[in-house]
Amino acid sequence: MGPYYDLIMDPVEGGFTQQFNQCWHSQLDELAKPYSDAIQLRIGNQLRPKLTCWGAAFNTDSAGEINLHQTAQIAAQVEMIHKASLIIDDWVDNDDARRGEKAFHIQFGQNEAILFAIALLSQGIAGINKILCRTSSHYQSLSLYTDTILRMAIGCLEELNLDNISRYDIKKIRRIIDFETIALIKNSFLLGYWSNWDRNCDLEKCLVEIGENCGYIFQLLNDLEPFAAMQSNFDYKGGQNIDVDRNRKNIVVAYIFGASSQKEKKLLSTLTGVPLQDLILQLYLKYSVYNFVCQEAKCLEQMIDGQIKDIWRISRHTNCIEDFQGFVHEVIDLCFSRLC
């Protein structure tokens, strides 16, 4: 596509993907075995690490200026948070699998899952501190990193406190998404941007907005998967995953509730088990919620295009914009493809 895209996305010799994998496996080797060889640590799309590198790219005049080794090291610490959150999420939700492979707590046990997640987070904090200790953004980056962990933990706790009424509260669900999903997407971007040599407050604001909208699109379409692609979602998670009967967040379920009649809302708040699941699926079809959610995601994608255009107007660091825009659309298209 272009020099930035090729350097960041292609698994070529000396590129970011190769350097990240080397850093990531090296970091894992410092942790206790056999847990550091867990299946769940060796699979995934590496979206957040790649966002870290794209953030660094926005602070350069050419692809060759990216400090790939340092960026890969930072990205490995970002992945520590992500993997720890997945381990905890699968354990809390009692999911047997992710990407069709055994969840960490199934492979090793529940106690081991919690302790290893703590080890990952601790390793990440120590790593960020060590990598950035001599940079001007050291304290700001370390604060952002630890705040990301805090927000994700608070979001998870708030999700666990949802009940048969609040599980339909769009404002509460949106806040949980902001804490659990958007925080890491957005801050992966910022940590990469801060790792380089220049700062532009207006550009940072654009990157934050892009990160927030990307994170929300990913969660919207992820929450739609159990409805639009039931069998593949079942295979991915090892079971049915609408989550409503366990009072877990799902923005699509909240939208279904919002579209429902008063009689239907009363039923949604009182039914449990299979009758509740069946009613939700009926209302999902009745109110064409699939179309509504997809339209919202497309509107957010258009907003991102507008925010990317803003970068052209406010920053001299524009060489990577076209490549980045291609990357964003590619990832969103991939999310849509998983609904089929």
Evaluated on CA atoms 284, 272, 269, 249, the torsion sign reads negative
Continuous H helices in the chain: 3-9, 16-29, 47-57, 68-93, 104-108, 110-132, 138-160, 170-177, 183-194, 201-228, 230-237, 251-259, 262-270, 273-286, 289-314, 321-337
Q: Is the dihedral of CA 39, 88, 44, 65 positive or negative?
A: negative
d(CA 297, CA 38): 34
| Burial (CB count within 10 angstroms: exposed 0-12, middle 13-18, buried 19+), residue 224 | buried
Question: What's phi and psi for 102, nearest 5 deg?
Answer: -55, 135
Give the chain's domain count.
1
pTM for this one?
0.93
Token pair 């925080």 is at which residue?
A: 183
Task: Report d(CA 300, CA 305) in Å as an integer.
Answer: 9
Q: Cα 151 from chain centroid?
A: 13
Sign of CA dihedral 16, 20, 22, 23: positive
* Per-residue tens of pLDDT for the chain, all 340 residues: 799 999 999 988 899 999 999 999 999 999 999 999 999 999 988 999 999 999 999 988 899 999 999 999 999 999 999 999 999 999 998 889 898 899 999 999 999 999 999 999 999 999 999 998 877 788 899 999 999 999 999 999 999 999 999 999 999 999 999 999 999 999 999 999 998 767 788 889 999 999 999 999 999 999 999 999 877 766 666 555 566 767 889 999 999 999 999 999 999 999 988 899 999 999 999 999 999 999 999 999 999 999 999 988 887 666 899 999 999 999 999 999 999 8
Q: CB neighbours of 159 closer than 8 A, spacing ≥ 6?
A: 176, 180, 248, 249
CATH classification at residue 238: 1.10.600.10
The boundaries of the domain holding residue 145 are 3-337
Q: Is 30 helix (H, G, I), strand (E, B) or coil?
A: coil
Distance CA 301, CA 305 (A): 6
